[in-house]
Amino acid sequence: MALVPLMTERLINLWDIGNVVDRVVTNQVYSINDLKRNQIETYFDERYADIEVLADSQNIKRGI
């Protein structure tokens, strides 16, 4: 009869561990999302800066 409480405790622990793993994975996915978003924003900010430099170039203005 002592097995029933022990098995119940084990099942509860496994359920808790599963929830913790889900939260950790979800947090990692959100972190990766933030990193990738920042990388993309940085890329486009840099390309915009490149366009501004080229637009001010005398060669571009002269059509060369």
Write the secondary structure of 9-54 as one string of H (helix), E (strand) and C (coil). HHHHHHHHHHHHHHHHHHHHHHHHHHHHHHHHHHHHHHHHHHHHHH
CA distance 7 to 58: 79
pLDDT in tens, 8-64: 888 888 888 889 999 999 999 999 999 999 999 999 999 999 999 988 888 877 876
Decide if 11 is inside a domain.
Answer: no
- Whether 13 maps to a domain, the answer reads no
Residue 7 lies in a domain: no
**Count of alpha carbons within 13 Å of 10, Cβ hemisphere only?**
6
pLDDT confidence of residue 64: 65
The whole-number pLDDT of residue 24 equals 95
Domain count of the chain? 1
Torsion, Cα of 24, 26, 31, 37 (10° steps): 170
**Does the residue 5 lie in any domain?**
no
Given a cut of 80, whether residue 3 has pLDDT beyond it is no
pTM of this structure? 0.64
Does 48 map to a domain? yes
pLDDT reading at 6 higher than 80: no
Domain of 38, in residue numbers: 24-57
Residue 4 domain-assigned?
no
